[in-house]
Amino acid sequence: MYIKRAVLGLAIILSSATFAVAQEEVSKSTADHSKFPILQKDFQSGPEVTEACLTCHTEADDQMMHSIHFTWDYEHPETGQRLGKSNVINSFCGSVAGNEPRCTSCHAGYGWDDMSQPAPQEANAKDCLVCHDKSDQYTKLATGAGHPPMQAKGKTITGKDAWAVDLKKAAMSVGMPDRDNCGNCHFYGGGGDNVKHGDLSSALYNPTHDVDVHMSSVEEGGEGMVCADCHVSDRHEWAGSRYNVLASDPHGTGKPGEARHAASCQSCHGQEPHPTNIKGLKLNDHTDTLACQTCHIPEYARGGVPTKSMWDWSTAGRLDENGKPIHEDDYVSSTGQHLHTYLSTKGNFDYQEDAEPYYAWFDGQVEYTTYDRKIDPSNTVDINVIHGAREDGRSRIWPFKRMEGRQAYDTVNNNLVYTHVWGPTTDTAFWTNFDWAKAIDAGMKAANKPYSGEFDFVDTYMYWPITHMVAPAENAVDCVECHQQDGRLANVAGVFMPGTNTNGPVGLLGKALLLLTLMGVVAHALIRTFSRKSKGGHHD
C-alpha cells in the first residue's frame, strides 16, 4: 500500500517537473533576436547595430529622440525651469558642459561631444544596446562620448579596465532591460559606485533581502524585480523623475486591470498598505504626512557600498614636492575597501554608509540653482531647493541624502559656475593643469555663459530623494525613532508628534501638580505622625 502511494507520488513529482521544464522551453517573447539574419553580422560600431535595430523597430529612434535619456533637457512643467543634465550644475563633477566626452559616456546615444548643441540627431546616434543588451558584455568607454570600447584600452563607465565588446553577440541577445542595463550608468552617477544617489549602488545588482525587498531574488525571500518593473515605460519615457517627483500618489492602485504609469509605492501598495488591525490602522494614519520611504528606508547606502557625503572642491590642486598629484585613502568601508579622502584633482571627500536620512516636507517639485540664479554666498547655498509644506495637502515628509559641498562661484555676478575639469589634452582642464582660473573660464566658455573672471568657493547642500533600498517591514524605522525628544523628525516644521515634548508647558504643569500633591500628602502624613497619635476618624 505504502509502496504504491510512494510510486504514485514520485510519478506526480516527475510529471510535474517535466511539465515545468516544458513550460520554460516556450519562449516568453514572440521574437528570438538571435535568429534574425540582420543581427548576425560582425558590427564594427554601435551606430551600425542601431541601424539594424531600426529596420524593424521603425519608430524607436523617434521615441528615443523625445526621451530625457537622450535629450538631457527637461522643461519643468510647474516652475518652467530648463533642467536636465545639459543645463544643471551639481555638487559632484559640476556640469556636463565643458567635460563632454567624459560625461556623455553615459548618454544613451553616440557621439555627443558638445553640450551647446542638442544631442546628435542622426537616427543611428541612439544607443539601443546600452539598455537592451542581455549578453552582459556590452559596455561604454568612460571617455568615448557614449561609444563602446572596440579594443581592450581605457576604462569602462563602471571604472573597470575596458575590453573589446562583441557587438554581434550583444545584438543577438537583446531583450527588456534588467538591473545591469540601468545600473551600469545609474549606480555609478557622480563618477563612482553610489557616489551620487546614496540609494543606488552596485549592491542592487544582486541585493540581499535586508538591502532591498523588491530587487532581492525570490530565493532570498524578495520579489526578484528589476528597475523597469516600477519604472514602467511608455514610448521610451519612464515613470519616475527627480525633477518632478510624484511625492504623494492619491490615485493609488487604480481600478482593477488599470495600467498605471507611476513609479510610486502606492501604485502597487495602495493608500492603506498596512493590515486592518489596531496596529495597522494607526500606521495607516501616518500616510497623510509621511512618504512610505520615510519609515521603510531606515538608512541609505546599505549593502556595503558607501556614498559620498561631502565634497570640498576648494582644497583641490595640492601637489607633492615634485609637482605630482597626490591622494589620501583614509576612509575604510564596512567591506574593508579604502576610499579616497583627498585627490589633487577633486579635493576632500567624506563618505557615509548605513546613513540616516535628512527629512523634509516635499511636494515633488525640485528647483535648481542654475547659473542664472543669484546666490547668497554668506549662507550655505542649496544646489536644489526641495519644495513643499504641510499645509498644501500633497506634500509628505520625505527622506533625503543631503550632500555637503564646497564649490566654485562667480564672486562678482554671484552665480554658480561651469567648470572644465576633464580634458587630458587641453591646457585649461583642472584635472590636467590644476588651475581654477583657467578651468572656470573654459567651463563658462563651453557653456556659453558670461563670467566676471573672479571666483571663490561657497558651501552648498544638495538634496537627493531616497526611494530605493526598501527594507523588510521588520526593519522599518521604529516608532520611537521619531516619537521621542530630538527624534528623527525634530527639525521638520508643522508637525505635532506625541512623545517628543514631555516637558512642554502642560507637561510641566502636570508634573508640578503631581509633585505638589505628593508633597501635600507627605506633609499631611508627617504632621499626623508627629502630632497626637490618631485613634479615631472613620472613612476615607
Residue 148: Cβ within 10 Å count: 28
Decide if residue 478 touches other proteins (CB under 8 A).
Answer: yes
Residues in a beta bridge with 408: 457
Q: Of 413 and 500, which CB lies nearer to other proteins in the complex structure?
A: 500
Task: Output the smallest distance, CB 484 to other proteins, in A.
Answer: 6
Question: How many CA atoms within 13 Å lie on the side-chain side of 480?
Answer: 0
Residues in a beta bridge with 83: 74
Decide if residue 536 touches other proteins (CB under 8 A).
Answer: yes
Task: Determine contact, residues 215/225, Cβ cutoff 8 Å.
Answer: yes
User: Contacting other proteins (CB under 8 A), which of 390, 438, 445, 449?
Assistant: 390
Decide if residue 514 touches other proteins (CB under 8 A).
Answer: yes
Segment interacting with other proteins (CB under 8 A) among 106-114, 150-158, 187-195, 482-490: 482-490
Amino acid making up residue 155? K
Amino acid making up residue 265? C
Decide if residue 37 touches other proteins (CB under 8 A).
Answer: no
Cα–Cα dist 227/312, whole Å: 32
User: Contacting other proteins (CB under 8 A), which of 282, 318, 327, 338?
Assistant: 282
Segment interacting with other proteins (CB under 8 A) among 141-149, 253-261, 338-346, 488-496: 488-496
Residue 340: Cβ within 10 Å count: 17
Cα–Cα dist 137/174, whole Å: 12
Task: Determine contact, residues 456/415, Cβ cutoff 8 Å.
Answer: no
User: Contacting other proteins (CB under 8 A), which of 1, 22, 26, 506?
Assistant: 506
Segment interacting with other proteins (CB under 8 A) among 172-180, 343-351, 433-441, 514-522: 514-522
Q: Of 75 and 288, which CB lies nearer to other proteins in the complex structure?
A: 288
Q: How many residues bind other proteins (CB under 8 A)?
A: 50
- Element at 17 (helix H, strand E): helix 2-25
Cα–Cα dist 140/196, whole Å: 19
Decide if residue 486 touches other proteins (CB under 8 A).
Answer: no
Decide if residue 257 touches other proteins (CB under 8 A).
Answer: no
Decide if residue 521 touches other proteins (CB under 8 A).
Answer: yes
Segment interacting with other proteins (CB under 8 A) among 135-143, 281-289, 305-313, 379-387: 281-289
DSSP 483-526: SSTT-TTTT-SS---TTS-TTSHHHHHHHHHHHHHHHHHHHHHH
User: Contacting other proteins (CB under 8 A), which of 341, 380, 484, 490?
Assistant: 484
Segment interacting with other proteins (CB under 8 A) among 46-54, 262-270, 375-383, 480-488: 480-488
Decide if residue 6 touches other proteins (CB under 8 A).
Answer: no
Decide if residue 528 touches other proteins (CB under 8 A).
Answer: yes
Decide if residue 379 touches other proteins (CB under 8 A).
Answer: no
Decide if residue 280 touches other proteins (CB under 8 A).
Answer: no
Segment interacting with other proteins (CB under 8 A) among 45-53, 75-83, 173-181, 385-393: 385-393
CA dist list (Å): 424 to 114, 244, 260, 324: 16, 36, 46, 15
Task: Output the smallest distance, CB 475 to other proteins, in A.
Answer: 14
Task: Output the smallest distance, CB 242 to other proteins, in A.
Answer: 25
Residue 231: Cβ within 10 Å count: 16
| Beta strand pairing call for 338-339 and 331-332 | antiparallel
Decide if residue 513 touches other proteins (CB under 8 A).
Answer: yes
Task: Output the smallest distance, CB 213 to other proteins, in A.
Answer: 20
Task: Determine contact, residues 311/349, Cβ cutoff 8 Å.
Answer: yes
Residues in a beta bridge with 460: 381, 405
User: Contacting other proteins (CB under 8 A), which of 231, 402, 483, 490?
Assistant: 483
User: Contacting other proteins (CB under 8 A), which of 372, 392, 427, 454?
Assistant: 392
CB environment 77-94: b (16+ within 10 A), e (fewer): eebebebbbbbbbbbbbb
Residues in a beta bridge with 400: 465
Report helix, strand or coil for 339.
Answer: strand
Q: Of 321 and 391, which CB lies nearer to other proteins in the complex structure?
A: 391
Q: Of 271 and 414, which CB lies nearer to other proteins in the complex structure?
A: 271
Name the grid cell of 322: 615634485
Residue linked to cell 582660473: 437
Q: Of 6 and 281, which CB lies nearer to other proteins in the complex structure?
A: 281
Cα–Cα dist 388/135, whole Å: 43
Decide if residue 517 touches other proteins (CB under 8 A).
Answer: yes
Beta strands in 70-130 (DSSP E): 74-75, 82-83
User: Contacting other proteins (CB under 8 A), which of 285, 329, 427, 456?
Assistant: 285
Q: Of 161 and 288, which CB lies nearer to other proteins in the complex structure?
A: 288
Cα–Cα dist 47/122, whole Å: 10
Decide if residue 276 touches other proteins (CB under 8 A).
Answer: no
Q: Of 224 and 510, which CB lies nearer to other proteins in the complex structure?
A: 510
Name the grid cell of 27: 519562449
Positions in the binding site for other proteins (CB under 8 A): 278-279, 282, 284-285, 288, 390-393, 478-480, 483-485, 494-496, 498-502, 504-507, 509-511, 513-514, 517-518, 521, 524-525, 527-528, 531-540
